Structure 1
């Protein structure tokens, strides 16, 4: 293969073989290669028997050529981030966007619970561990979370092309025109987010809530506009029902607009219905994926609320009175009892309960990425360790977890079966 390259021109003084040019035509949907293959088959004495070997040989040639190119430009598997960090990457829904299966969220933490210095530590640990997905929203800390995120990206000089930055729009300000999903707020809100983050574009812009006051066609047209203007690459939804997402898709198809690619949904051991039953149907029908948040149920699954509400915890904050009430309720006490049983499984697997919980979310291949929300480097490092636990999530272990939880929703169809 290398000898074949030394005699031609092309990149670096090497020319790809003729096989590459024919495969490129085929990949573009051309018919020349198909016609040529059919003629080759007719020449042989036994076309049926030769078809499989020919396809196998062509596949080997493509693989050899791909590996040659990667090594030539220093992009071999050994140099890849995935190989170096062990971080798995998945497609965001049925789009071509590759996201780390663990992402870092900024809700409550950035501009709130933690200092800017700690935020930088968290992003650095995440990035160096292979995380490429960072999520925020215009409403987080009144826009300060976006400012901190943008400042860190600029300071670290990370290549923008290596990052997947997402933000969410809905709650922008106090004025009626500064909230919701009107064309006005989607365009102005995203411009404001980009200005705060000092970015030219975001990879995904999410509609942070459904908006009953705005026609669906207006929402989809506005999202299509910001994508066509280069302000975003994709758009998605957050906290939308399956029916609302389907309506957005139908409107997009009717008017030749861009449909959503992803739904952000809460998903953890005690919240399963939407991600395991509703979203799989949307994935198979229209390609909408799942980006999930709160894998530790706002800290409940960490076990730190087993003996009450710690002073520094999220449940101790005035704005989280609802979480405190949930923890001390009868259902909350039942959940704590189940967590004790789950802790035995974690011990057998050689991991912590939070790592088990995050790995349990990742075992669902329909989940494109799980967003982590942590307030210190130790928590983040622990949660990132769920990647090592994922291979241990066998069907037997998952069945044990389901038996303890007793809340597995009925689904007619497995995700990506």
Structure 2
């Protein structure tokens, strides 16, 4: 497992981050979740990502349990705040009240005194940036948070936060961004990536496998396989349904010979593709079985030749989405290529 700096900060993260969205506390049994974390540690993964909203806190609890016997300084734990964790008007957003209360609740569930990376899960239009950034800065000063990040913010929103932090004379600044990014969804490339590279903000990208679509397990001419996210319970089918469609699945099938030629599985190829960019500090993987973690972690340190990258672009062609306007709306936008042929 190789490690990269998180932007221009002094923090190093593993090229592969283990995340537990839609898995721990929701789709995966506790014993299996613990086994997946052990597999991640065995593979050399040191960075773990979760959020207060994942399984309404249960995901943080399971991760905390899984890491309880691990030397705290040997791992990097990231979590998030913003999305609704209750029915009250203050149980969401980036107000000082919610940020402070959510951070303390996350620390209790994770069983730790601090998190390495605390991220604003979405942008909050209702709360002044000054209020949010001062609350974040206070948490850093208190030693409860070491580094700050955001997730799915647009370039103007990130730039505004950097400006406000400078104007307020805050010591802490945003060093990480967590966007969706994969072969098909490249909406951060036109605006977010250039800004972040200029400002020293590293990308910790999620969905490098596009909800499993880029593994090739979904066929254009057949039903989804049993025990896949598309056939599981909970919220997973709603998310995976946004990226299924015969046109897309046929193109993905045409990527398999390229993966075979490179000596990689489809999943390894997709993860290595996200890591081809120096702007990406880490790619987040999830898993429902330990062997998935072991296989996908080997994508770390795999270089992809320029000719292979060009072939991937040729196969996917006009199905690649690069519209920067979709960055902030990624949770609600249904890509054009997910529609039936």
Whether TM exceeds 0.5 here: the answer is: yes
> What is the CA distance between 1:323 and its match in structure 2?
3.8
1:162 and 2:74 aligned:
yes
> In 2, Cα distance between the equivalents of 1:228 and 1:373?
32
Flag structure 2 segments of 5+ consecutive residues without an equivalent.
324-341
Assess if the C-alpha contact under 8 Å between 2:185 and 2:321 holds in 1.
no
What RMSD over aligned residues (CA atoms) do the two structures have, in Å? 1.7
> In 1, Cα distance between the equivalents of 2:43 and 2:160?
38
> What is the CA distance between 1:409 and its match in structure 2?
7.8
> In 1, Cα distance between the equivalents of 2:162 and 2:196?
12
> What is the CA distance between 1:115 and its match in structure 2?
1.4
Q: Matched residue of 1:337: which SS?
A: helix
Give the equivalent residue in structure 1 for 2:252.
Answer: 339
Structure number with greater Rg is 1
> What is the CA distance between 1:303 and its match in structure 2?
1.9
Give the equivalent residue in structure 2 for 1:150.
Answer: 64
Give the equivalent residue in structure 2 for 1:121.
Answer: 35
> In 1, Cα distance between the equivalents of 2:104 and 2:176?
21
4+ long deviations beyond 6 Å: 408-411
> What is the CA distance between 1:340 and its match in structure 2?
1.5
Give the equivalent residue in structure 1 for 2:296.
Answer: 383
Give the equivalent residue in structure 2 for 1:315.
Answer: 230
Assess if the C-alpha contact under 8 Å between 1:277 and 1:409 holds in 2.
no
Instruction: Name the count of aligned residue pairs.
Output: 317
Give the equivalent residue in structure 1 for 2:271.
Answer: 358
Task: Return the structure number with greater helix share.
Answer: 1
Range that drifts further, 315-324 or 285-294: 315-324
What TM-score, normalized by structure 1, do the two folds share?
Answer: 0.73
Deviation readout 1:290-310 (Å, 9 max, x if unpaired): 110011111111222212223
Give the equivalent residue in structure 2 for 1:70.
Answer: none
What TM-score, normalized by structure 2, do the two folds share?
Answer: 0.89
> In 2, Cα distance between the equivalents of 1:244 and 1:292?
18
Deviation readout 1:218-245 (Å, 9 max, x if unpaired): 1111110111111100111011111111
> In 1, Cα distance between the equivalents of 2:225 and 2:256?
20
1:245 and 2:161 aligned:
no
Assess if the C-alpha contact under 8 Å between 1:265 and 1:292 holds in 2.
yes
Matches within 5 A, 1:10-409: 87-154=1-68, 157-170=69-82, 171-257=84-170, 258-274=172-188, 276-306=189-219, 307-316=222-231, 317=233, 319-323=235-239, 325-328=241-244, 332-387=245-300, 390-391=302-303, 393-407=304-318
Which fold has the larger relative contact order, with Cα–Cα distance below 8 Å and residues 6 or more apart in sequence? 2
Give the equivalent residue in structure 1 for 2:335.
Answer: none
> In 1, Cα distance between the equivalents of 2:85 and 2:246?
37
Flag structure 1 segments of 5+ consecutive residues without an equivalent.
1-86, 412-417
